[in-house]
Structure 1
Amino acid sequence: MTASYDKTISQAQSNETQKLVDAFNNLDTDAKLAWFYLVYKKMGDSITPAVPAAAEPELSPLLLGDFFELSDEQQLDIMRDIVNRKDTEYSRAYGAIKENNQLLVWYAWAVAMGNQVVDLPGSYEPSKAINDLVSQIEKLDFDEQISVFRTIAGEVGYTDVKPIATQAETGKTSSL
């Protein structure tokens, strides 16, 4: 499965996977961040083999380099801006890359949590909604999991790039 250039088209292929994407979208900002961390903590070994071969980490130096030099509070603000789709430098950098690279960003951040990346508070307990969502995703087969992850990763961040209109929409044929 390749990443979609049209961010308005969900990669979640079935009603079941789309329901999981919807459940993620119903979480609050910090719950979404906790979800990303927990998914990679529990399932990172199955997610990451699908990403490195298809990802291009050099396309996101701001997110996979400069980000690690920031304070915990700055990192948390950037993560919140990304999941809230705010128009900021980091959110634009995230929104400019394809889903496989976006998954790589979350993976790198999850791996570095507690060291180079702000960690969850020690007393943090995930909500029932987060635990249920992670549990439901764990039950999916690999292709369904990846479609959910790509959809979620692709729906956050900011971009003002619009998909190219189709011939059906414009009534014009492409010229060579």
Structure 2
Amino acid sequence: MTTSYNKSMPQALSAETQKHVEAFNKLDTDAKLAWLYLVYEKMGDSITPAAPMAAEPELAPKLLGDYYKLSNEQQLAIMREIVNCEDTEYSRAYGSIKENNQLLVWYAWAEAMGDQVVDMPDDYQASNDINNLLSEVEKLEFEEQMSILRTIAGAMGYSDVQPIETQAETGKTPSL
């Protein structure tokens, strides 16, 4: 698997994992946020070692520092902007970091929910779609779970960085 800034290029390449990414993409914004939170709540012990060890938190000071000082309403609005790929300051900050750092952001936010980060409402009931997707992903191997999460995390946020055209696309050889 290779990392790419091309958000239309899936990182979850198997048909099985791509099916789960597509199911996630069909959820509405708040359902996506709930699913991400529940993933970290239910599978955090297996997912959390992967993201922080491969991430560089100093690359996301706005998301892992300034964000914690905002009101609950502002935090939730920023999460929604990131999920919806809106062109905002925080969504750009998120979109400018690689998938492992993006996973670290969601992990850190999930860990801080109810303390420094806006929490799920006490009376929240996850929909069948959320529960079914969560259940299906829990059954997968760790590598497949991480592939799904990297694909989902990498598709969020805003970036106007375009992938560099390949030689096959341009017909030109690189020059120095």
CA RMSD of aligned residues (A): 0.9
TM score, norm. by length of structure 1? 0.97
Letter of the aligned partner of 1:73 in structure 2?
E
Look up the match of 2:119: 119
Contact 1:99 1:154 in 2 (8 A): yes
Work out the number of aligned pairs and report it: 176
Q: Is the 8 A contact 1:138 1:145 kept in 2?
A: yes
Aligned-residue sequence identity (percent) comes to: 72
**Letter of the 2:22 counterpart:** D
How far did 1:49 drift? 1.1
In the TM superposition, what are the counterparts of 1:18-167 in structure 2 within 5 Å? Answer: 18-167=18-167
Q: 4+ residue stretches of structure 1 with deviation over 2 A?
A: 1-8
Kindly provide the CA deviation profile for residues 9-57 of structure 1, in whole angstroms up to 9, marking residues without a partner as x.
Answer: 1111211110100000000010000011000000111111111221010
TM-score, with structure 2 as normaliser: 0.97
Name which of structure 1's ranges 8-17 and 35-44 shifts more when overlaid on structure 2.
8-17
Residue 2 of structure 1 deviates from its aligned partner by 5.1
Aligned partners of 1:3 and 1:149: how far apart in 2? Answer: 13
Looking at structure 1, the residues matched to 163 and 134 of structure 2 have their Cα atoms a distance apart, in angstroms, of: 31
- CA distance in 2 between counterparts of 1:42 and 1:3 reads 26
8 Å CA contact 1:82, 1:158 repeated in 2: yes
Assess, with a 3 A threshold, how the Cα gap between structure 1 residues 101 and 2 changes in structure 2: closer, same or farther. Answer: farther
Q: Deviations over 1:60-117 (max 9, x none)?
A: 0000000000000000000000001100000000000000000000000000000000
The Cα of 1:128 is off from its aligned counterpart by 0.3
Contact (CA 8 Å) 1:3, 1:150: kept in 2 or not? no
